[in-house]
Structures are given as C-alpha cells and as structure tokens.
Amino acid sequence: MSSQSAAKLRSRYVEQVASELEENRRRQEELAQKMVLLKEQETLLADILNLAERYEGFADASRLPEQTHDELAVAKAKRHSGTGATAQRSTPSTAAPTKTKAKSGAKGKAQQPLLGDLLMELLTRHDEPRLAKELRDELREKHPSRNPTPQVVRNTLESLVAKGRIQRHKQQRSVMYTLVKSATAR
C-alpha cells in the first residue's frame, strides 16, 4: 500500500469518526432532553400520588383541592412550552403545600366550589347526556371567573366516572356524561 493511499484511507477514517462523534453528541442532547421531560412527568405523577394518598381517608373523596387541577394545567402547559419547567418544579413536594396556603389566603380560592361539584351541579339540571365541551361552555357562562381548560374538564369528569358519581356514554365518536341517579342520595 502506497503512502498516498494510506493517507486517503486515514482521512476517510478521520471524517467517519468525526461524523459519528457529531451524531453521538446530537443523540446525547436528545436523550438529555427526554430525561428532563421524564423527570418532570415523574415529579408530576409523584405529586398526584401524594395528593391522592393525603385525601384517601376523606368521606367524600371528590372534594380534592381545586389548585390540583390548576397546577396540572400549568404543568402541562409548561411541559409543552419547554421553557423553565425544571427550574420551577425542582422541589414539588415542598412547594405544593406552600402554594396551597398562599392561594387560599391571598386570592380566596378556598371559598370557591370545587370544579367536580360545579360539574355535578350542571349535570343535575339535564336529563340527557352532555358533552364535556357543552359542560365547559355552560360552566364558563355561569361562572365567568372559572376558565378550566377542556382537558381539565375531561379529567375531572373522568374522575367522577371512576368514583361512580356520573356515567360515561359513547355515541359514535362522542363521549357524553350523565349524573348517576344514586349519587343525589349521597
């Protein structure tokens, strides 16, 4: 093998190794970003479990704190925006109780009825099944200070279904909800 062909072979190997190193660095960055997202999701799920355990012994388990729904919506929005999510959720288990006290004292949110209770009240006014969108629109009309996201309304309705307080009906591709008649006796 001549020195010229050896030099060409060496330059090809150098280019190939440089290309593979660059690809490796790019892949490491992608994986690091995925790890950050997974850690945020883990923190959020740990918060949800913590709240569920804290309120498990209550007689009426549907009376969960309202800020939980708001915090979930905020966390989801931050997760989708991708900016500053880790900095603000670095210590979730200690930050959540502080936020609760601040919200109830400063803004008076503790006196507002819970979203689940409002949705149950709206469902009592209708005999026919209602779409989550219809319930959200009606809620926003009757309570203009409340503006939950469509996902928060659906999650709350599904939570009420899981507790047996309302029923889910599927009609073609639509999901509708009605009040369970025995729930009014509770």
Can you say whether the dihedral through the CA atoms of 167, 70, 47, 54 is positive or negative?
negative
**Are the beta carbons of 84 and 78 closer than 8 angstroms?**
yes
Q: Which of 135, 115, 126, 141 is nearest to 179 (CA)?
A: 126
- 181 and 162, same structural domain? yes
- pLDDT for the residue 79: 55
pLDDT band for 91, please (50, 70, 90 cuts).
very low
Query: What are the tens digits of pLDDT across the range 130-165?
Result: 999 999 999 999 999 999 999 999 999 999 999 999
Same domain, 19 and 94: yes
Same domain, 4 and 45: yes
Domain end among 74, 109, 144: 109
- Give yes or no: residues 104 and 19 share one domain: yes
**Of 81, 109, 137, which residue constitutes the final position of a domain?**
109
Q: Could you tell me if 9 and 101 lie in one domain? A: yes
Domain housing 21: 1-109
pTM value is 0.42
Of the residues 47, 76, 109, the one at which a domain ends: 109
Structural domains in the chain (count): 2
48-84 confidence digits (pLDDT tens) = 888 887 776 655 545 545 545 555 555 556 555 554 4
How many angstroms separate the CA atoms of 152 and 174, rounded?
17
